[in-house]
Structure formats: structure tokens, C-alpha cells
Chains A and B, each alone.
Chain A
Amino acid sequence: SAVISQKPSRDICQRGTSLTIQCQVDSQVTMMFWYRQQPGQSLTLIATANQGSEATYESGFVIDKFPISRPNLTFSTLTVSNMSPEDSSIYLCSVGQGSYEQYFGPGTRLTVT
């Protein structure tokens, strides 16, 4: 399976600021995804990061709040914009491989004060 790293691993940010999270994969992959895991909750898909085109966002998530870049087949970024305490979550990237399974990065723990 692919090895996935994320930066930063955690951060504490002030309300109103933005944070960009990086996701790096050790091999080329077609499908990359970004998820949010709010405290004590399950995972919710934010968007699918498409290489060479705009990301596909799920209902309830918009590009202005969560802009995503996918410049090549091994890298993607997610920005959490104009943050509020409600954005405090773990943000995870994943890659799709094989029989539709996904492999996840270690996550970025974000706290907004």
C-alpha cells in the first residue's frame, strides 16, 4: 500500500486565519480524498481531489472555505479558510487503490481558538 504523509501533524490556530495542510504520497495515484473527523465522530468526506481539474465537493462543503489543489499525482493540499472553533477537527487525506479501498494519512489535528 502507498505511504502517505501529512504536514503539519497538528496545529493551534486563531479564529479568522487560514491553514494549509499538505498530503504527500510515495507513488502516483489517481484518486485522492480529503476527510474531516470532528471530535468523537466518524469521518465525513470533504472533497475528491482531481489531478488537473477542480476538486469535487460533497454537500455542505464549498471551495471558498476548503480550497484544494492537486498539482500532480503524488501531492495535494487542503486549506481551511477563515477558521472558527467549529473547524477544530482531524483532517485526513486518503488515496484510492485496488478494490476500491482507501489508505489514509496520519491526519492533521487542528484546534482553533
Chain B
Amino acid sequence: GNSVTQMEGPVTLSEEAFLTINCTYTATGYPSLFWYVQYPGEGLQLLLKATKADDKGSNKGFEATYRKETTSFHLEKGSVQVSDSAVYFCALSDRGSSNTGKLIFGQGTTLQVKP
């Protein structure tokens, strides 16, 4: 079945450091891929998305490229800020024959950025 695997956290970085959070997936067909962010005490916000191979999603300085050959969708940011501290979830959509629109989430990666 479809699944998403994220690197384990927590990830602790100093402000202005480079961020990479790894995400790989297993899926039949051609899923859409997403990164969601959950700030402390809040719900999930869609950070970025990519709908087909080689697409690059970007938002708020974050980027991720849909790599079909490596089944990956790694999240990157060149210079993190304290305000980026949150939990980041990688997810894929179920776009199989049932086309249910379900999202399958990775386990989440906690990012803590220190001043």
C-alpha cells in the first residue's frame, strides 16, 4: 500500500542554518505530494505541493522537488529562522483508481531553531 517515511527528529538547528528534512514515499500510480506544517497548539497548514514528477513546490523560502526516480520529496530551506520551529509532515494523496482523495502522512519531523 501507499506509505510515507520521514527522517526522524527532532532536528535542532541554529538560526540561519540550512535545513533538509528527508521524505520518501511508496505509491502506485502518480500521487500528488505535500508538505504540511503544524505550529505549536495549531492545526495543519499546507506549506507547499507538487503534482507531477520534476515539479518544484515552494513557499516562504521552503522548497521541495518531486523526484520520481528516487521516490523522494525532501524539504529544504536555505536559512531557517526561530519562527520556523514546528512539526513538518510529508504527505501524499491517494490518486489511485478509487480516487478517494485521501492523504497519507509521514510520522512528522520536529524542527527546533535556536537563536
Binding site for B on A (CB under 8 A): 1, 31, 33, 41-43, 45, 48, 56, 92, 94, 96, 99-107
Contact, CB under 8 Å: B43 / A48: no
Contact, CB under 8 Å: A43 / B44: yes
| Most chain A Cβ neighbours within 10 Å, of B36, B51, B103, B105 | B103
Question: Would you mind naming 17 contact pairs between A and B with Cβ atoms under 8 Å apart?
Answer: A33-B102, A42-B105, A42-B106, A43-B103, A43-B105, A56-B100, A94-B44, A99-B32, A100-B32, A101-B49, A102-B101, A102-B103, A104-B36, A104-B44, A104-B45, A105-B43, A106-B43
- Report the interface size class on chain B: 20 to 34
CA distance A96 to B101 in the complex (A): 7
In the complex, what residues of B have CB within 8 A of residue A92's CB? 43-44
Given contacts A41-B108, A96-B101, 8 further A-B contacts (CB under 8 A): A42-B108, A43-B105, A48-B100, A92-B43, A94-B103, A100-B51, A105-B43, A107-B43
Binding site for A on B (CB under 8 A): 32, 34, 36, 42-46, 49, 51, 89, 93, 95, 100-103, 105-108
CA distance A31 to B101 in the complex (A): 8
Contact, CB under 8 Å: B107 / A42: yes
Q: How far is the CB of B9 from chain A (nearest CB, A)?
A: 11
CA distance A55 to B45 in the complex (A): 25
| Most chain B Cβ neighbours within 10 Å, of A33, A43, A100, A104 | A100
In the complex, what residues of A have CB within 8 A of residue B44's CB? 43, 92, 94, 104
Contact, CB under 8 Å: B89 / A42: yes
CA distance A45 to B32 in the complex (A): 17
Q: How far is the CB of A4 from chain B (nearest CB, A)?
A: 8
CA distance A107 to B39 in the complex (A): 12
CA distance A96 to B49 in the complex (A): 14
CA distance A96 to B102 in the complex (A): 9
